[in-house]
Structure formats: C-alpha cells, structure tokens
C-alpha cells in the first residue's frame, strides 16, 4: 500500500491531470502527469474492465503497480500527480516487465531524478 501522502484520490485532482496533463506511452501502460502544488508526488491507477473482467486480476495488477511505485519512489521527482492507465496486454506480463515498463515511462517523462 502506498502512503496516504503518495495517493491521488480526489476526483477533481484526477480530472485536472486528464485535462491539463502531458502523457507518456509505455508497453503495458500510459501515464498522464501534471506538475502539482503539493510537496509529494501522488499516484493513481486506472484499470478498466476491458483489461480483465475478473476483479481479482485487476487488483493483482494494482498491487504490482503500487509495489513498483514504492520501489521507485526515492528516485521520483517531487511535486507531480501521475495517473497510470493500464493496457490489456499487462495481464500476460510478469512483475519485472511491469516494473520495467513503469520505470521506462517515468524516465521518458522526465519524472525520475537519476
């Protein structure tokens, strides 16, 4: 579980990211990101029923993404709101592939400090 300070939960904040944010594509997901007024970077994951009709699989993907973000958090620049939109191909991916895709998207977006 991500710390509350790193969770993007308010509907208006998520809508602002979708309206004003920039995007970066990766093999299994697309991220939309926006520089925010806050001190910590916040994350949200969007997984539709098109990815999997089974909630157990969607929740597994969310847990893997949260864990990958937790691992990358020390390297992520401060002050961004990020929404990760998951693609259906992620169902067949291993945790390592998901982590690499997320890191690739964040690096290409310029959100990683290293």
Q: pLDDT tens digits for 49-94?
A: 999 999 999 999 999 999 999 999 999 999 999 999 999 999 999 9
Where do the domains of the chain lie? 4-106
pLDDT digits (tens, 9 = 90+) for 1-34: 889 999 999 999 999 999 999 999 999 999 999 9
As a whole number of angstroms, the distance between CA 56 and CA 33 comes to 27
What pTM does this model have? 0.90
As a whole number of angstroms, the distance between CA 2 and CA 84 comes to 14
Residue 1, pLDDT score: 80
In the 3-class helix/strand/coil scheme, how is 64-85 assigned residue by residue? Answer: HHHHHHHHHHHHECCCEEEEEE
CATH number belonging to domain 4-106: 3.30.230.10
The CA-atom distances, in angstroms, between 98 and each of 30, 101, 113 are 12, 5, 20
């Amino acid at each position: 579980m991500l710390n509350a300070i790193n969770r993007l939960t308010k509907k208006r904040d998520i809508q602002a990211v979708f309206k004003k944010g920039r995007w970066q594509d990766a093999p299994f997901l697309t991220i939309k990101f926006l520089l925010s007024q806050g001190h910590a970077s916040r994350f949200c994951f969007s997984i539709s029923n098109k990815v999997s009709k089974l909630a157990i699989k969607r929740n597994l993907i969310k847990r893997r993404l949260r864990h990958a973000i937790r691992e990358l958090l020390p390297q992520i620049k401060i002050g961004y709101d990020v929404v990760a939109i998951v693609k259906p191909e992620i169902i067949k991916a291993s945790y390592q592939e998901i982590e690499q895709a997320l890191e690739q998207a964040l690096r290409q977006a310029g959100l990683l400090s290293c």
